[in-house]
Each structure stands twice: as structure tokens, then as C-alpha cells.
Amino acid sequence: MIVLAVGCHPDDLEIACAGTLRKYVEQGAEVHMCHVANGNQGHVIIEPDELRIIRTKEAEEAGKIIGAKQVINLDVPDMEVNSHNFEIMDAMADVVRMVRPDVMITHNPQDYMTDHVETSLIATNGAFCSGLGHRPRKYEAYMSFIPTFFMDTLAGVDFQPTHYVDITNQIETKLQALECHVSQLKWMREHDNIDFADMVKTCSKYRGYQCGVAFAEGFKPYNVYPRYSTKNLLPD
């Protein structure tokens, strides 16, 4: 199985689905991670150009811990993620053509800030555009409607999962990958007095309570024709 996870900022996949991605890897799947935005506005002291480089390296290190085959960066500046920008859309479509996934994971269409919302549209519409043979492209068109799951929102606000993945055995790897994002976790501890790693662990524990395990991650399928499948596409 080939999995493509599309997040907005360099740490979003680690927050919402790193345990699931690691579980995919452990079960023999090929996992590709992609972030649309470069995270250059995610600090009040570090300048954007410097932060962009730092966060790219942090994401690559996190990807290694998860076991991803690659971490792809579309390098769009923060707050410029726009699903109506066809350069971004075509770049996303080419990622899908290159990876040729069996399943995708991305943001819920309703989330706490516009970059996340736009990324959800870029991922789903980019997947659709990947099958259009006359769009600008670097890779052969991928004529497939890809089953897609939306991952949890930040802190699980206004998100009720229909599917859960038990990540009890992957929770430490998830947190280790998250801790790679030093620029974010250190800043939030010092600037906002938030222990973000603890919050993520608590949210995973809460999802675990809901489904009867120690730690879990929650998802909802993108329920549109014809993206259904008879296969169980999330890891057992």
C-alpha cells in the first residue's frame, strides 16, 4: 500500500496522524509526507527566511523517525496557501502523480485557520486534477479517484471521528517525531506557556478513551462519489 499524507505546516502531520503513519510503515506500507506551507511565519523572533530553512530540516528529521520514504515541501509561504492558485494546485497534482497513492490523509475542511482549510481543498482537488491529462504536469496522469481520510483538528475541536486507529504502540514514536519541531515546541513553551507535546499526548489519550484503547488517532472519510472503497485502508 502507498500512503500520501498532506499537511499544511511542517508539524501538522506529526500532531494529527504521526502514530497512524508509523503504524502504516510497521505494517509494510510506503508512506510519503507532504507539507504545503513552509512554516516561515511560525515564530515571533526568528526571521521568516531563517525559519523556513529550520522548519524544513525539522520536518525531514521527523519524517525519518516515522519511517517515511520522503518528506515533500511545496514551499508556499504561510498565509499564502490558496486553493485558487493553480500553480499550487498543479504542484499538488504532480505530487499525487509521482506518489500514485492508494489512500490519502489530509486536513478536515473545517479547521482553526485558513491555511489548514485551503490545504484540505488543495489536497482533494489536487488529487482530482492528477487525473487530468491536459493540465501542466511533470508525471504521467494518475487516473484514480483516491480514497481520502480527514485527520483530527487541532485539539479535536468540533471533530467527531468515525474511524479510529490504535496507536498505543506508536505513541512514543509520534511524540519523538513531534519533538523534532524544536522551533515550535520551545517557542510555545516559552512564549505561550503551552506544553504542546503534552497537549498532543492528551488528545491522543482522549481519542483512546473513545474507542477503548490507551492512545488513538481519529479520522473521517471524504464521503463523495467515487472515493469509496471496499478495502480497509487505515492500519489495523
Tell me the mean pLDDT in the region 199-222: 97
Question: Per residue in 32-68, pLDDT tens?
Answer: 999 999 999 988 889 999 999 999 999 999 999 999 9
Q: How far apart are CA 50 and CA 111, in angstroms?
A: 27
Distance set, CA 153 to CA 54, 162, 200 (Å): 25, 14, 11
pLDDT tens-place string over residues 106-155? 999 999 999 999 999 999 999 999 999 888 788 999 977 899 999 999 99
pLDDT attached to residue 227: 78
- 109 assigned to some structural domain: yes
Domain encompassing residue 125: 2-221
End-to-end Cα, the chain, rounded Å: 13
Mean pLDDT of 73-92: 96
Cell readout for 223 is 464521503
Q: Tell me, what DSSP letter sits at residue 8?
A: S
Residues 232/20, Cβ–Cβ less than 8 Å: no
- 82: domain CATH number is 3.40.50.10320
Q: pLDDT at position 125, please?
A: 95
* Within a domain: 125: yes
The answer as to whether 233 is a domain residue is no
Domain presence at residue 159: yes
Confidence (pTM): 0.95
Q: What is the pLDDT of residues 171-195, one digit of tens each?
A: 999 999 999 999 999 888 887 788 9
Whether residue 228 is contained in a domain is answered as: no
- Kindly state whether residue 204 falls inside one of the protein's structural domains: yes
**How many structural domains is the chain composed of?**
1
Distance from C-alpha of 106 to C-alpha of 146, rounded to nearest angstrom:
12
Residue 227 belongs to a domain:
no
Q: Is residue 95 part of a domain?
A: yes
pLDDT score at 44: 82
CA 21, CA 13: separation in Å to the nearest integer?
Answer: 9
